[in-house]
Amino acid sequence: MTPLAALPHADRVQLVSLALLVGALLLAVSLGAVSISPGQLLVAPLARLGLSDAPSLTPAQEAVLWAIRLPRALLAVGVGGALGLAGALMQGLTRNPLADPGLLGVSSGAALGGAAATVLGGAWSQVGLPVAAIVGGLLAWGVVMAVARRDGAAPISTLLLCGVAVSALASSGTGLLLFVASDEQLRALTFWTLGSLSGASWPRALGVLGALAVGLLLTARAARPLNALLLGEAEAAQLGVPVEALKLALTVLVAALVGLSVAFSGFIGFIGLVVPPLARLFVGADQRQVLPLSAILGAGLLTLADLAARTMVAPAELPVGVLTALLGGPFFLLRLRAASPGV
């Protein structure tokens, strides 16, 4: 028996998924208008560190790899992983396989913050857009929590309803800003809200990857309480789970992950909705396996979607949010039909 076959099924799935993610990452940095072979990719880091004298990349390939493709691919991994993890957390908290991480109003709040920075920020608009989007997302979450909490408790159903209301208000504010925007601002906002990783840079990529790593560490401790929460809030409380504190901590984490993702990539929908059900299909309902696998699958899916977005109509580029919606929309309808046989 091989060592891989001796592992438990869930561990094998995690390892295979990680290998596929690495393969997707290699494809993303290899393919494009300037081709880079797998052999060159293997030698390039050694040559950059001065550990190999073998010629690896031409100056053009060197610039494309280190300044454009690698930070963009890593940003796709970070944003996709963050959205996948946020989706798994929301579905675990609500005990609803159709829950989306944007239900707390964070995505709409982040869009409002980004639109305000673009339209009202003047010369600082591009610098301030990510910060404004993050602040807008967290403010939207704060309003939802403030309105939903009564006597120290925030029922999930009330949270979701408040999230819908805050999303509507934020969307109306974004629409008003679009109305008064100039043609140039309108074009920039439209492309940003459709979702794109074209603004990737090393600070953005490393920032999102760092947030994802922190999120995974935090959720590793929350996996067992989330498993208990699947039984219901009252039952979880009887088992000693601090339900309200858990909901507060995890909704803060979801807000931070979604706000950061929207700030750096715009709206990229359906990753957080599609990925967690796939993870549960492969490893079951145990949140100790679902949460990390959702992050891995989300990272791989967005990496491949971004690769397709920038190569399908080259030299032009499709907004990656359009592709994820084309993939996620039919999946959502199928999930909805499976969850509601009478539909």
Structural domains counted in the chain: 1
- Rounded CA-CA distance 109/115 in Å is 10
- Rounded CA-CA distance 303/26 in Å is 10
Residue 214 has pLDDT above 70, yes or no: yes
- Name the nearest CA neighbour of 105 among 164, 173, 158: 164
Instruction: Please give the residue range of the domain that contains residue 85.
Output: 3-339
Q: What pLDDT is stored for residue 210 in this prediction?
A: 94
Specify the pTM.
Answer: 0.91
36's CB contacts (< 8 A; 6+ apart) are 29, 30, 44, 57, 61, 64, 65, 69
Q: What pLDDT is stored for residue 19 in this prediction?
A: 95
Q: What pLDDT is stored for residue 343 in this prediction?
A: 42
Residues 234-250: pLDDT tens digits?
A: 899 898 999 889 988 99
Average of per-residue pLDDT across 106-124: 81
Q: Please give the structure tokens belonging to residue 271.
A: 């990753």
Element (H, E) at 209: helix 202-229
Residues 10-39: pLDDT tens digits?
A: 889 999 999 999 999 999 999 888 888 877
Question: How many other CB atoms sit within 10 Å of the CB of residue 209?
Answer: 18
Residue 50 has pLDDT above 70, yes or no: no
Average of per-residue pLDDT across 120-126: 61
Residue 326 has pLDDT above 90, yes or no: no
Residues 257-280: pLDDT tens digits?
A: 998 898 889 889 889 989 999 999
List the CATH number of the domain containing 147: 1.10.3470.10
Confidence of residue 55 (pLDDT cuts 50, 70, 90): low
Residue 197 and residue 261 in contact, taking contact as beta carbons nearer than 8 Å: no
Confidence of residue 61 (pLDDT cuts 50, 70, 90): confident
Q: What pLDDT is stored for residue 92 in this prediction?
A: 92
The secondary structure of 102-130, three-state, reads HHHCHHHHHHHHHHHHHHHCHHHHHHHHH
Residue 2 has pLDDT above 70, yes or no: no
Q: Report the range out of 41-55, 121-135, 261-275, 324-338 with the highest average pLDDT.
A: 261-275
Q: What pLDDT is stored for residue 151 in this prediction?
A: 75
Confidence of residue 102 (pLDDT cuts 50, 70, 90): confident
- Name the nearest CA neighbour of 320 among 275, 274, 266, 273: 266
Average of per-residue pLDDT across 303-331: 87
The residue with tokens 């393919």 is: 31
